[in-house]
A and B are shown apart, each in its own frame.
Chain A
Amino acid sequence: MKTTQTDSLTDLTRKGTSIEFFSAYQERDIERMMALFDPAGEFWLMPLGPDPQGTIGDLGRNFWTGVIGAFPDIDNTVDKVTADGDKIICNVALFGTQTADFAGITNKGLRFNSDHIFIFRFNEDDKIEAVAIDWDHTSFQQQLGV
């Protein structure tokens, strides 16, 4: 059985990993982002369905590659990072300017700024084994002219 102290220190490590993800995302470095995940882990875009839609190594990689391609100035501000059991919850503002069609949204050259919640679930080896992302999709679409 782990002690409370070990739990706390594990949380600190996992928070650091989560920050590293957003740093890599800022640098639009897909390989650095993917290195933090178990590629077989679940990838879930919460506004788009009630269950995970695919794996991190497959759908996750494609999704983030698509985001970076369509929003080449994509950037983020991490508002806060908190722990909840084996999950790290990150409140993050994402923003960027659309330069190509993306996920059915026609490019109108508009900019979005949207609060997101990233929930990372970690395995015993402190790799991220599931990621769920939530945001106000209606607002996101409206900002991009849908």
Chain B
Amino acid sequence: MLYQKYQPAPHLRPFVECYYVWENAALPAQPMTVESPPNGYGSLVFNYGDPYRLQTQKNGTKVVPASFLSGQSTRSYQLQLQGQIGMIGAVFRPAGLNSLFGLPMYEFVDERIDLSAILGDGIRTIQERIAEPNSVIGRIRLLETFLSNQMTRTNAITDRTDYVANLIVDKRGIINIHALMDELYVCRRQFERKFLQKVGVSPKYYARIRRISYLCAQLASKHWNVDDWHDVIYRAGYYDQSHFIREFTGFTGRIPSLYVRDNVELANFLKS
């Protein structure tokens, strides 16, 4: 199993968090289910392996389009994989997809939309080229060239919203949004409207996503061994245990102890 992350070229780093490639060398005997909590990032994904399914509480189980754009997730989701796994993705900084493509990101919350429906049939050429036999680096170059061309075409730049969204990520969601708005001398209404457009959710809600995301990443990095829940809750910035349980259950659909017990999470496959 290969799940590897790659850093983007410097000129794309304001927009792109990383690329990833996920492949398996041998066909697994059993279908595999991988669960992921909301992570605070949108992505473009190209599948060159066998089709796979996505299970969400809202939509049940659906086959994922061969290439798609996903916006912010506000609930945990499960990938049901079988056969050959082969996918490459660009993971975007919180406002990166909007800055590069100009899309209203609130429309893509909890959605995986076929790229050709958003970007037109031209994207099929990229999809076909990525599907051709190639090395991992070769595929990343194709994806990076596509994004570089997009950046040039749209004269993409970052703005104050990108800065704030990135700050929320850096602070792991533990941040006072009202104080931040005062500090930046921004009009609340305009700022929230722009943030919704560029990130997909409100700043306050995004901070909640990042808090749960960071916490789940921490748990995954410890292989879901929790010695001291109080320490976990305190470090993640929750007021108390009931606040934490309410938030965790709201985002993942399960109480923390059950989630930890059952979870087989994407991060388990990460190679640092």
Interface residues of A, Cβ cutoff 8 Å to B = 4-5, 8-9, 11-12, 15-16, 19, 23, 26, 75, 77-84, 91, 93
Interface-lining segment among B15-23, B104-112, B264-272:
B104-112
List of A residues within 8 angstroms of B196 by Cβ: 19, 78
Question: Is B202 located at the chain interface by the 8 A CB criterion?
Answer: yes
A132 CA to B236 CA, complexed, in Å: 35
Contact check, B74 vs A78: say whether CB atoms are below 8 A apart: no
Nearest residue, chain B, Cβ from A12: B107
Question: Is B189 located at the chain interface by the 8 A CB criterion?
Answer: yes
A23 CA to B65 CA, complexed, in Å: 32
Question: Is B35 located at the chain interface by the 8 A CB criterion?
Answer: no
Contact flags B111-138 to A (C-beta < 8 A → 1, else 0): 1011001000000000000000000000
A107 CA to B117 CA, complexed, in Å: 51
How far does the Cβ of A63 sit from chain B's closest Cβ, in whole Å? 23
Contact check, B110 vs A77: say whether CB atoms are below 8 A apart: no
Contact check, B111 vs A80: say whether CB atoms are below 8 A apart: no
Which of these, A5, A15, A26, A93, contacts B106 with CB under 8 Å? A15
Contact check, B58 vs A84: say whether CB atoms are below 8 A apart: yes
Question: Is B204 located at the chain interface by the 8 A CB criterion?
Answer: yes
List of A residues within 8 angstroms of B58 by Cβ: 82-84
Which of these, B104, B113, B117, B202, contacts A80 with CB under 8 Å? B202
Can you list the 8 inter-chain pairs with the closest CB atoms, starting with the nearest? Answer: A79-B205, A12-B107, A79-B202, A80-B201, A15-B107, A8-B113, A82-B110, A5-B117
A80 CA to B193 CA, complexed, in Å: 12
Residue among A9, A11, A75, A79 facing the most chain B CB atoms (10 A cut-off): A79
Question: Is B247 located at the chain interface by the 8 A CB criterion?
Answer: no
Which of these, A11, A16, A80, contacts B205 with CB under 8 Å? A80
Contact check, B106 vs A83: say whether CB atoms are below 8 A apart: no
Contact flags B232-261 to A (C-beta < 8 A → 1, else 0): 000000000000000000000000000000
A12 CA to B189 CA, complexed, in Å: 23
Contact check, B104 vs A83: say whether CB atoms are below 8 A apart: no
How far does the Cβ of A95 sit from chain B's closest Cβ, in whole Å? 11
List of A residues within 8 angstroms of B171 by Cβ: none
List of B residues within 8 angstroms of A78 by Cβ: 106, 192, 196, 202
How far does the Cβ of A46 sit from chain B's closest Cβ, in whole Å? 19
List of B residues within 8 angstroms of A26 by Cβ: 189
A14 CA to B205 CA, complexed, in Å: 21
How far does the Cβ of B243 sit from chain A's closest Cβ, in whole Å? 15
Question: Is B62 located at the chain interface by the 8 A CB criterion?
Answer: yes
7 A-B residue pairs with CB within 8 Å? A8-B117, A16-B104, A78-B106, A78-B196, A80-B201, A81-B107, A83-B111
Contact flags B204-243 to A (C-beta < 8 A → 1, else 0): 1100000000000000000000000000000000000000
How far does the Cβ of B56 sit from chain A's closest Cβ, in whole Å? 10
Contact check, A12 vs B74: say whether CB atoms are below 8 A apart: no
A80 CA to B105 CA, complexed, in Å: 10
Nearest residue, chain A, Cβ from B197: A19
Contact check, A82 vs B109: say whether CB atoms are below 8 A apart: yes
Which of these, B62, B74, B107, B111, contacts A16 with CB under 8 Å? B107
Contact check, B113 vs A19: say whether CB atoms are below 8 A apart: no
List of B residues within 8 angstroms of A79 by Cβ: 201-202, 204-205
How far does the Cβ of B231 sit from chain A's closest Cβ, in whole Å? 29
List of B residues within 8 angstroms of A93 by Cβ: 202
List of A residues within 8 angstroms of B107 by Cβ: 11-12, 15-16, 81
Contact check, B202 vs A77: say whether CB atoms are below 8 A apart: yes
Contact check, B111 vs A11: say whether CB atoms are below 8 A apart: yes
How far does the Cβ of A120 sit from chain B's closest Cβ, in whole Å? 14
List of A residues within 8 angstroms of B62 by Cβ: 4
Nearest residue, chain B, Cβ from A18: B106
A11 CA to B200 CA, complexed, in Å: 14
